[in-house]
């Protein structure tokens, strides 16, 4: 019907279609409107009758509260709270109904006392008042806020006693404001689904039905407080299987130990919670389902117990429920295990540090053994002093919580410390120095690119100057005979320092390999 240039005839046809559609929309069946009116009358009559019964039950509760304060003083006080919250919400709904009639210019027939049902076909009254675009107006937001306020007030009263939990769940279902799925599978907000686009009489009837829900809720709760309501039948459909493990961590290959019970999660908050001897702040720990969030230091590695107590109110009395559970603390992972398959090596002549642990097992339940292995200071710290041979094995055994033992082992190659490099005046290999620098220089030895920072002490060496006899020197400095030979060297001569003898500082018994020589080319 849109797009392109239309002829006068086509425009007239299109206009007729629009008029026809509008007439269909306006001519809602009078029978349907009357049916809504009859339903509204029935709800209104029911509300009046229920209100009378509620007043009688409330008076009975107040009377019993005076006569038997031990049994009925608290229930009577709760009934008063329900009456105040319900009356407030009921009257608010009534203002919405009055406003709807006023904006629609509908009046009650003074003779019959009835509304003009068949004339209440307008759909724009609440549409304009409650909705704007894809959101609610301020009035629409207020309506939702009042419903939620009423729900909060009633649920707060029911949360004071665990025995009210069943009624609390039923109340939540009755006043659920959840989204509604329409015929197209799209989720629509509660108000939109129940009031947007409906004729005035339908919306008016729904508001009266909501008032009826309030009155029925009052009656149900008064009966509950009087002790007249029967407990809901215990059906397994209301329960679920709950797994209670003996502890919260298990090792691979270990048998799972625990229990499976049938139970329900209480959504009624406790009046007191104590965990590990400390009282918990309920305002911070309890969520909307009644579950408590625990927050405490777990302690050292190993198995621990959680002990405490919930305290609820049931039938006006305190009901303590003990808390007993186990958990296992394992070491926090702070490093990755990365190893080169061919590099499991320990060296003779030095203290090889090692860290030995068993995943998930505390250090005091881990033992390690091997030739030359000894415990050092710190968790999991050991030292290996390798002996003779080419290999050594380190065995590790861990004792688990169930007293069973698990073992593992690893083989390490044993290697000698590599040959040190000779040093003169801080230089190695083939160096160029003036004769004077050689005379006063210090002969030393070092390990190039060794994994340990190992101090080495030179004890003696030999020096050969071309044309001069070899001189033996004890210590690290040139003696008089060596200095005399050096003075006779000429420019370009190569002075050789060789057979350098050295020992590891602190371990004189270990025999290092031969130290490489140093050759000095005389520069003057």
- The predicted-structure confidence for 259-311, as pLDDT tens digits, reads as follows 776 666 665 667 777 877 778 777 676 766 567 777 777 677 667 777 888 77
Q: Spell out a b/e string for 310-322, using b for 16 or more CB atoms within 10 Å of the CB, else e.
A: bebbeeeeeeeee
pLDDT confidence of residue 133: 80
Distance of CA 305 to the CA centre of its chain: 21
pLDDT confidence of residue 90: 93
For 97-133, what is each residue's pLDDT tens digit?
899 888 888 888 787 778 787 788 888 888 889 988 8
HEC readout, 50-65: HHHHHHHHHHHHHHHH
Distance of CA 280 to the CA centre of its chain: 19
Question: What is the maximal distance between C-alpha atoms in the chain?
Answer: 147
CA 114, CA 252: separation in Å to the nearest integer?
Answer: 77
Beta carbons of 368 and 382 less than 8 angstroms apart: yes
pLDDT confidence of residue 238: 53
pLDDT confidence of residue 27: 47
CA-wise closest residue to 473 among 429, 442, 506, 428: 442
CA 209, CA 174: separation in Å to the nearest integer?
Answer: 12
CA dihedral in degrees (157, 161, 166, 168; nearest 10)?
Answer: 20
CA dihedral in degrees (368, 374, 380, 381; nearest 10)?
Answer: -150
pLDDT confidence of residue 338: 53
Beta carbons of 372 and 392 less than 8 angstroms apart: yes
The CATH number fitting domain 345-415, selected from 3.30.420.610, 3.40.50.300, 3.10.129.10, 2.60.40.10: 2.60.40.10
| pTM strictly above 0.75 | no
pLDDT confidence of residue 142: 94
Query: Which positions of the chain have pLDDT values less than 50?
Result: 1-3, 19-27, 229-235
pLDDT confidence of residue 147: 92
pLDDT confidence of residue 24: 44
pLDDT confidence of residue 83: 92
CA-wise closest residue to 393 among 407, 380, 379: 407
Domain-wise residue ranges, the chain:
8-226, 239-329, 345-415, 421-522
CA-wise closest residue to 207 among 105, 82, 115: 115
Pair of tokens at residue 314: 């049931």
């Amino acid at each position: 019907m849109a797009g392109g240039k239309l002829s006068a005839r086509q425009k007239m046809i299109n206009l007729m279609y629009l008029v026809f559609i509008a007439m269909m929309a306006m001519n809602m069946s009078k029978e349907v409107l009357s049916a809504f009116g009859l339903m509204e009358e029935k709800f209104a009559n029911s509300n009046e009758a229920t209100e009378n019964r509620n007043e009688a039950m409330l008076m009975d509760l107040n009377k019993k509260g005076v006569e038997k304060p031990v049994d009925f003083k608290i229930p009577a006080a709760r009934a008063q709270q329900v009456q105040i919250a319900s009356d407030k919400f009921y009257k608010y709904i009534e203002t919405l109904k009055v406003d709807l009639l006023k904006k629609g210019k509908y009046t009650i027939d003074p003779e019959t006392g009835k509304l003009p049902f068949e004339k209440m076909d307008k759909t724009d009254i609440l549409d304009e008042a409650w909705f704007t675009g894809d959101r609610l107006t301020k009035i629409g937001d207020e309506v939702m806020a009042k419903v939620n306020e009423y729900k909060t007030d009633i649920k707060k009263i029911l949360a004071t006693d665990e025995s009210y939990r069943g009624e609390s769940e039923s109340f939540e279902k009755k006043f659920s404001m959840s989204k509604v799925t329409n015929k197209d599978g799209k989720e629509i907000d509660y108000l939109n689904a129940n009031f947007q686009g409906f004729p005035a009489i339908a919306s008016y009837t729904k508001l009266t039905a909501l008032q009826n829900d309030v009155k029925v809720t009052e009656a149900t709760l008064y009966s509950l407080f009087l002790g007249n309501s029967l407990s809901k039948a215990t059906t397994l459909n209301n329960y679920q299987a709950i797994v209670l493990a003996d502890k919260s961590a298990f090792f691979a290959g270990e048998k799972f130990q625990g229990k499976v019970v049938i139970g329900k999660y209480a959504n009624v908050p406790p009046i007191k919670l104590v965990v590990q001897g400390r009282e918990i702040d309920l305002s911070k720990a309890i969520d909307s389902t009644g579950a408590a969030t625990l927050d405490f230091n777990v302690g050292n590695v190993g198995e621990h117990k959680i002990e405490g107590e919930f305290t609820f109110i049931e039938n006006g009395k305190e009901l303590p429920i003990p808390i007993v559970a186990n958990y296992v603390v394992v070491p926090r992972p702070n490093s990755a295990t990365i190893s080169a398959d061919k590099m499991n090596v320990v060296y003779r002549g030095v203290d090889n540090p090692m860290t030995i642990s068993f995943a998930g097992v505390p250090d005091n339940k881990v033992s390690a053994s091997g030739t030359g292995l000894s415990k050092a200071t710190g968790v999991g710290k050991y030292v290996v002093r390798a002996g003779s041979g080419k290999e050594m094995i380190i065995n590790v055994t861990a004792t688990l919580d169930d007293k069973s033992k698990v073992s593992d082992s690893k083989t390490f190659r044993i290697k000698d410390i590599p040959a040190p490099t000779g040093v003169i005046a801080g230089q190695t290999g083939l160096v160029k120095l003036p004769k004077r620098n050689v005379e006063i220089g210090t002969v030393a030895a070092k390990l190039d690119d060794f994994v340990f920072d190992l101090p080495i002490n030179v004890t003696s060496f030999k020096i050969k100057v071309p044309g001069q006899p070899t001189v033996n020197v004890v210590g690290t400095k040139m003696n008089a005979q060596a200095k005399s030979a050096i003075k006779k060297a000429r420019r370009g001569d190569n002075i050789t320092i060789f057979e350098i003898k050295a020992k590891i500082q602190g371990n004189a018994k270990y025999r290092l390999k031969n130290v490489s020589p140093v050759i000095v080319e005389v520069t003057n």
